[in-house]
Amino acid sequence: MNKLLIVGTVAFDAIETPFGKTDKILGGAATYIGLSASFFNLQSAIVSVVGDDFPQEYLDLLTSKNIDISGLEVVKGGKTFFWSGRYHNDLNSRDTLDTQLNVLADFQPKVPQDYKNSDIVMLGNLHPLVQSSVLDQMETQPKLVVLDTMNFWMDCALPELLEVIKRVDVITINDEEARQLSGEYSLVKAAAKIHTMGPKYVVIKKGEHGALLFHNKEVFFAPALPLEEVFDPTGAGDTFAGGFAGYITQSENISFDNMKNAIIQGSNLASFCVEKFGTEKMVTLQKSDVLSRLQQFKSLTQFDIEL
Amino acid sequence: MNKLLIVGTVAFDAIETPFGKTDKILGGAATYIGLSASFFNLQSAIVSVVGDDFPQEYLDLLTSKNIDISGLEVVKGGKTFFWSGRYHNDLNSRDTLDTQLNVLADFQPKVPQDYKNSDIVMLGNLHPLVQSSVLDQMETQPKLVVLDTMNFWMDCALPELLEVIKRVDVITINDEEARQLSGEYSLVKAAAKIHTMGPKYVVIKKGEHGALLFHNKEVFFAPALPLEEVFDPTGAGDTFAGGFAGYITQSENISFDNMKNAIIQGSNLASFCVEKFGTEKMVTLQKSDVLSRLQQFKSLTQFDIEL
């Protein structure tokens, strides 16, 4: 089985949506990526950090999904990263109510020896220096490095972000972030500019409006599945990235055509994530449900005009 | 050849976008629908009204596209409907600067005798009583009646609008209008509610975010083609509707699967419309360009996951 190395936060989230609110629940980019990638045949490991306030039950959950957590450092006396946010009524925007970096502030990632030859590396949202440090520790060149990031790092660590972006094959960011990073309003122009920064593949996530994959002059679009109700968008982008990276890892195929499939797999998994609060849906989701919804994606997008 | 009857405004538009502004140019829903439908093998006629300030050159243009204008009334001493608007920087929203109904205020549509047995009727944006009156004049039941409307009629002629909506097979409206008409935020729920108002098919236009086609529990999505630059969105929705209705008319097939193709054809034609001011692009567009961009739509959306 191929190996997927996942870097990103493992965290507590407290979420408010128009439908309700949660206390501190399991969250974090690496958590969502790992859960999503676990629907594929692969070996995966998370590199991250938590405090010793992090419940054993959450660690056990990750392990039960066959995620190697030997690279998940537990800091004695430390507190786990905490994020709290409130979504607006349309669920397309949110306010951050609280961010406590805690153990993330001094985090030095350590890639487990077994994963220094990973086939695919998924650099989830974290400080770009942490993302770079993980790449530095690889002993063989991964077949594909995927990076996810957010506007926060563009605001406060842009030089470091640009350095790590140079080293990756695929970048996944949302539409506003693509505009901020490139200075271009048109997403076609934004993607072209981001290509010149390093990544050969640019994935622009548009939330409920789907995702675009750009590669040179080629472009592919995956819609989001139209849902009766979106309950909580938290983690949807990470779940998307985890499905993308997980499928690529399983299939050992980094062609553009296979990346189209990977984008669909990511969109499919993300469509489940938003149906319940936090990780709740992803934890109980069955593979048979994932496959049957893939069929819906086909019906949703495939047509048969003869040309 | 099958017959398509088109109802809607024929107008003067004055448009401001971030890229420039126009004086009074050719516009109107029926104009865009007619130009778009002219790319298919069909006979079409426009039912509308203008004043005698409407230039012969514009009438000749419509005739040159094989559009029958015997139902386009020219009111002696009357002035043509005029709309003026300014788009915001993101081109997704606009302010109406001026609306002069002029000859539209007392318009009584007259369907040409030859078109009282039309196969397909496309009721473009106009007062719902005008749309109803056209249906009243049909001597045979059309195979498909498509209705486009806008929030303006929901605000000021809702009972009349609900009456005509009962009588149509397909409604095309934008996402905000679907929400207003249904009182539902979720587009899936909005479409379900609009089904109960009459139309078996609900098309929700999302501008640069594509279009959704709902039919009972089935749904199909067509993206908008990602463009380097959108120059002027005026008429894109009507061009979309014209492509949809035109393709259905040509193909004589009103199955859901063929409507998927029709939605793609509409999206394809609309992608050209926005590239220049007003009708400029649609007037000079060649059929070979339309076909070659259809191939781009295939590459944009088709994938090959084995299930």
Per residue in B194-210, pLDDT tens? 999 999 999 999 999 99
Alpha-carbon span B222 to B244, nearest angstrom: 12
Mean pLDDT value across chain A: 96
pLDDT at A300 over 90: yes
Tens of pLDDT, residues A206-221:
999 999 999 999 999 9
pLDDT digits (tens, 9 = 90+) for A179-194: 999 999 999 999 999 9
Of B138, B159, B151, B144, residue with least CA distance to B241: B144
pLDDT band at residue A229 under the 50/70/90 scheme: confident
pLDDT at A306 over 80: no
Domain A3-298 CATH (choose: 3.40.30.10, 3.40.1190.20, 3.30.420.80, 1.10.10.10): 3.40.1190.20
State how far the Cα of B289 lies from the Cα of B39, in Å rounded to an integer.
11
Q: Do B302 and A301 touch (CB under 8 A)?
A: yes
In chain B, what is the straight-line distance between the N-terminal and C-terminal CA atoms, in Å?
41
Range of lowest pLDDT (A22-36, A93-107, A117-131, B70-84): A93-107
- Say what the ipTM of the complex is: 0.91
Among candidates B187, B229, B265 on the partner chain, residue whose Cβ is nearest the Cβ of A186: B229
**pLDDT (average), residues A118-125:** 98
Q: Report the DSSP pairing between strands B43-51 and B72-75.
A: parallel
What are the residue boundaries of the structural domains of chain A, listed by start? 3-298
Residue B277 has pLDDT above 80, yes or no: yes
Contacts of B228 in chain A (CB under 8 A): 186, 188-189
Contact status, residue A233 vs residue A87, Cβ threshold 8 Å:
yes
Q: What is the pLDDT of residues A42-65, one digit of tens each?
A: 999 999 999 999 999 999 999 999
Residue the block writes with tokens 């005739």: B63
Average pLDDT of the segment spanning B270-284: 96
Rounded percentage of chain B residues whose pLDDT exceeds 90: 94
pLDDT of residue B229: 87
Please, which pLDDT band fits residue B305 given cuts at 50, 70 and 90? confident
Q: A159 falls in which pLDDT band (50, 70, 90)?
A: very high
Do B227 and A264 lie within an 8 Å CB cutoff?
no
Does the CB of B306 have a partner CB in chain A at under 8 Å?
no
The whole-angstrom distance between B34's CA and the closest CA on chain A is: 22
Is pLDDT of A138 > 90? yes
Neighbouring CB atoms inside 10 A of A255's CB total 11
**Please, what is the Cα angle at A128 between A122 and A131, to 5 degrees?**
35
Which residues, in sequence order, are CB contacts of A83 under 8 Å at separation 6+? A11, A12, A13, A14, A27, A96, A98, A99, A100
A to B CB pairs, distance under 8 Å: 96
CATH code that applies to domain B3-299: 3.40.1190.20
For residue B301, give how far its alpha carbon lies from the nearest alpha carbon of chain A (Å).
6
CB-CB: which of B188, B226, B302 is closest to A302?
Answer: B302
Asked whether B48 and B7 are in contact (CB, 8 A), the reply is: yes
Contact A228/B188, CB-based, under 8 Å? Answer: yes
% of chain B residues with pLDDT over 70: 100
With CA atoms as reference, report the closest residue to A120 among A137, A101, A140, A91.
A140
Asked if A305 reaches chain B (Cβ–Cβ under 8 Å), the answer is: yes
Using one digit for the tens of pLDDT, what is the confidence trace for B79-118? 999 999 999 987 878 899 999 999 999 999 999 999 999 9
C-beta neighbour count of B28 within 10 angstroms: 28
**HSE-up of residue A31 (Cα within 13 Å, Cβ side):** 25
**B178 and chain A in contact, CB less than 8 A:** no
Beta strand residue intervals within A239-284, DSSP E? none
Whether chain A has a CB inside 8 Å of the CB on B188: the answer is yes
Interface of A with B in 30-49 (CB under 8 A): none
Cβ–Cβ contact A228 with B under 8 A: yes
Token pair, residue B64, equals 């040159």
Q: Does residue A307 have a pLDDT over 80? A: no
Q: How many helices (H) and strands (E) in chain B?
A: 11, 15
Q: What is the dihedral of CA A226, A231, A234, A237, to 10 degrees?
A: -10
Q: Average pLDDT in the B66-90 region? A: 95
- Residues on chain A touching B291 (C-beta within 8 angstroms): 307
Q: Which residues of A are less than 8 Å from B260 in CB distance?
A: 303-304
Give the distance from residue A264's alpha carbon to the nearest chain B alpha carbon, in angstroms: 8
pLDDT at A89 over 90: no
Looking at A137-141, A237-241, B96-100, B170-174, which range is the least confident one? B96-100
The Cβ of residue B24 has, within 10 Å, a number of other Cβ atoms equal to 16
- Residue B210's closest CA among B228, B227, B195, B225? B225
User: Mean pLDDT throughout B20-40?
Assistant: 96
| A49: closest CA of chain B, how far (Å) | 36
For residues A91-99, give the mean pLDDT. Answer: 88
pLDDT at res. A91: 82
> Which phi and psi (to 5°) does residue B116 adopt?
-75, -5
Closest Cα in chain B to A256: B303
Angle (CA) A140 A142 A144, round 5°:
170
| Nearest by CB: A304 against B188, B261, B300 | B261
Region for residue A182 given its phi and psi (left: phi exceeds 0; alpha: psi -120 to 50; beta: otherwise)? alpha
Whether B196 and B174 have beta carbons less than 8 Å apart is answered as: no
Dist. CA B63–CA A215, nearest whole Å:
43
With CA atoms as reference, report the closest residue to A225 among A296, A278, A156.
A296
Q: Over 90: is that where the pLDDT of A81 sits?
A: yes
For A94-106, what is the HEC assignment?
Answer: EEEEEEECHHHHH
Residues of B in contact with A18 (CB under 8 A): none
